[in-house]
Structure 1
Amino acid sequence: MHTYSVTEPQPRRCVFPFAAEASQVAGLRRAVRAELAVWGMSALADEAQLIVTELASNVVKHVGQGSVATLVLDAGPNQLRVELHDKSGKEPQHLHPSCDEESGRGLQILGALSTAWGTVRTTVGKAIWCELPLALDETRRRVQRATSVMETYGLAFGGPAAWLTHRTVLEESATSLILDMLHWLTAQGLDPGDILDRAQTRHEAARSNTQRCG
């Protein structure tokens, strides 16, 4: 799959041009999951992948094999917007939810998973868009803040944001960042061990809370 992505730090926006072929859909799904992991939004990966699969498959079936299309991920403060652009001006039919026709399944999924969705004409065709809500609980806020810190930390060493998707590199970079923080705490006259103990206690309490609520 020959795609490229363009990622901007804030707001987060990523563009994936691709060829509308069944063999490309799996690669597109992986790219979406990897990008959301970089953004600290892995909790939305399953829903986003399902929507992308349906939209991309719709292009393959109804616009044409091999046609040029573009997927856009755009994360705002309250939602993740997913857009699928193609070069056909024909809008999808709004089928009744009880309809058994396979071509209507994608639209039903959009309606079930998203807070809003629709179509818009573009200069070259159309775009189908939908928005997934970001449940900004305390855990999600912490993950997003940590993601921003890790991205900045990686860029300080000349690495692209995509390095966060490689587990081995991620683990080593996180260890290095924590080590830097320990040196910084010592330089400030604070006790690194005490800070780590307090952080671990709060982390375990938050996890226990989440498990009880789940």
Structure 2
Amino acid sequence: MPGIDIKDRRRRCVLPFEALPAEVRLLRRAAATQLGQWGVPAAGDATQLVVTELATNVIKHVGEGSPATLILEWQRERLRVEMHDKSSCLPAPRTADCEAECGRGLHMLAAMAVDWGTVVTALGKAVWCEIELGPDDVCLRMERAVDALENYRERSETALRGRHEAVLEESAVELIADLLHWTSAQGLDPDDVLDRAQMHYEAEAHIAA
């Protein structure tokens, strides 16, 4: 995805969209898909709620059809969600018993997030929050796999111009093939290495189930 920085293990996804009701569902799905590719699908439910609230606020208070951008940024134990729009008017929470709907979403945001805030940008404003990821949310094996596949993705994207999922799938095949070449060069039996890896995978999948 755009803006991924491998060195500090930070991953960044930028999703521009038009603030339309039909787009909110697609935006939620895109966010969930991205978290799955990063190996943190357990954070999907909370993230989708936050994305829905932030996108809906843009529709209500900035204007239906206005351009906006969702940014997801994952670094270790936290996932940062930012919603950028063209309005410089900062939202303010209303009191809990206020009849107006405006601002109620911010109370929900504050309750779900470990930290949140708003900031004026050069083009408007951004509302952001950070969701804390528990130790069960981040699978070390998945994190290592994503690191490796992103390196391969950068090499493969020039040849594969299809969906991002297709690029990652081809990258996985290339990575496994390279590892088999390496095991053979080390005097190891590639079939034996594959069998052992399959045994590890099946054992861990059984425990997870």
If the length of structure 1 is used for normalisation, what is the TM-score? 0.77
* Partner secondary structure for residue 90 of structure 1: coil
Deviates more, 1:36-45 or 1:140-149: 36-45
Q: Distance in 2 between matches of 1:34 and 1:107?
A: 25
Residues 52-67 of structure 1 aligned to structure 2 (within 5 Å): 52-67=51-66
C-alpha RMSD over aligned residues: 3.0
Q: Distance in 2 between matches of 1:34 and 1:142?
A: 18
Is it true that 1:178 corresponds to 2:160 in the alignment?
no
Q: How many residues matched?
A: 205
Output one character per residue of 1:117-170: Cα deviation in whole Å (capped at 9) or x when no partner: 12222234321110112335596121011012122223333357985424xx65
Q: Could you tell me whether the CA contact under 8 Å between 2:116 and 2:129 is conserved in 1?
A: yes
Note the C-alpha offset of 1:86. Answer: 2.0
Note the C-alpha offset of 1:37. Answer: 3.4
Residue 165 (structure 2) aligns with: 165
* Partner secondary structure for residue 24 of structure 1: helix
Q: Distance in 1 between matches of 2:204 and 2:162?
A: 29
* Partner secondary structure for residue 199 of structure 2: helix
Q: Could you tell me whether the CA contact under 8 Å between 2:11 and 2:74 is conserved in 1?
A: yes
Residue 131 (structure 2) aligns with: 132
Output one character per residue of 1:79-115: Cα deviation in whole Å (capped at 9) or x when no partner: 1111112233333332455667544552243233321
Instruction: Flag the 1:136–1:19 CA change in 2: closer, same or farther, 3 A.
Output: same
Q: Could you tell me whether the CA contact under 8 Å between 1:154 and 1:161 is conserved in 2?
A: no
Q: Could you tell me whether the CA contact under 8 Å between 1:154 and 1:160 is conserved in 2?
A: no
Q: Could you tell me whether the CA contact under 8 Å between 1:79 and 1:133 is conserved in 2?
A: yes
Q: Could you tell me whether the CA contact under 8 Å between 2:149 and 2:172 is conserved in 1?
A: yes
Q: Distance in 2 between matches of 1:188 and 1:77?
A: 33
Q: Distance in 2 between matches of 1:48 and 1:162?
A: 27
Residues 1-214 of structure 1 aligned to structure 2 (within 5 Å): 6-10=2-6, 11-96=10-95, 102-136=101-135, 140-157=139-156, 158-159=158-159, 163-166=163-166, 170-171=168-169, 173-211=171-209
If the length of structure 2 is used for normalisation, what is the TM-score? 0.79
Q: Distance in 1 between matches of 2:140 and 2:71?
A: 23
Instruction: Flag the 1:206–1:139 CA change in 2: closer, same or farther, 3 A.
Output: farther
Q: Could you tell me whether the CA contact under 8 Å between 1:155 and 1:161 is conserved in 2?
A: no
Q: Distance in 2 between matches of 1:148 and 1:115?
A: 26
Q: Could you tell me whether the CA contact under 8 Å between 2:93 and 2:104 is conserved in 1?
A: no
Instruction: Flag the 1:101–1:199 CA change in 2: closer, same or farther, 3 A.
Output: farther
Amino acid at match of 2:20: E
Instruction: Flag the 1:161–1:113 CA change in 2: closer, same or farther, 3 A.
Output: farther
Instruction: Flag the 1:8–1:131 CA change in 2: closer, same or farther, 3 A.
Output: same
Give structure 2 stretches of 5+ with no counterpart.
none
Give structure 1 stretches of 5+ with no counterpart.
none
The share of aligned pairs that are identical, in percent, is 47
* Partner secondary structure for residue 65 of structure 2: coil
Output one character per residue of 1:54-99: Cα deviation in whole Å (capped at 9) or x when no partner: 1011110111122232222222233111111223333333245566
